[in-house]
Amino acid sequence: MKFYIATDHAAYKIKSSVIDILEDLGCEVVDLGPENSDRVDYPDFAHKLCFEVLKDEGSYGILICGTGIGMSLAANKHKGIRAALCHDAYTAQMAREHNDANIICFGERVVGMGVIESILKTFIESEFEGGRHENRVNKIEIE
């Protein structure tokens, strides 16, 4: 599985640990920044990542800020992006199985590394169920 990852300054400090977890799980990871902990605006990184995920069919994204809220709000402005704010393994599982999420968001100030590891592992191992969920997912976007 290929992931693009981006954070803001609030989550910069955990970015390399998250990349390590993903690589240990056999994923390819592309780091879209930031490159240091200087203050940045989360929408800039959310939009940068969404453009890459949309260009690279079959890829996924991880967006992390303080709460995960700002990143998910910005990402979901993109047609074709389904960014799920996850708090635990259950929400990560549902994000894939029911919502066909292609981006996972979480908050560095909300979840610890143990929970983050279980979110990532579950997201990777879960698959979209299709069926009745497909019709619902197709209804998310409006012209």
Catalytic site positions: 65, 98
Q: Please, which residue, 33 or 133, has the CB nearer to ligand RB5?
A: 33
Min dist CB 40 to ligand RB5, Å, is 9
- Report, in Å, the least distance between residue 110 CB and ligand RB5: 9
* Choice between 5 and 124, CB closer to ligand RB5: 5
Choose between 65 and 89: whose C-beta lies nearer to ligand RB5: 65
Query: Residue 108 corresponds to which amino acid?
Result: E
Of residues 46, 88, 35, the one with CA closest to residue 70: 46
What span, in angstroms and rounded, lies between the C-alpha atoms of 122 and 22? Answer: 12
Beta strands in the chain (DSSP E): 2-7, 28-31, 60-65, 83-85, 103-107
Judged by the rule CB under 6 A, the positions of this chain that interact with ligand RB5 are 8, 10, 42, 65-67, 69-70
Q: CB of 90: closest distance to ligand RB5 in angstroms?
A: 22
With respect to ligand RB5, which residue has the nearer C-beta, 10 or 124?
10
Q: How far is the CB of 121 from ligand RB5 (least distance, A)?
A: 24
| 117 and 21 Cβ atoms separated by less than 8 Å | yes
Structural element, H or E, at residue 36: none
DSSP 45-63: HHHHHHHHHHHSTT-EEEE
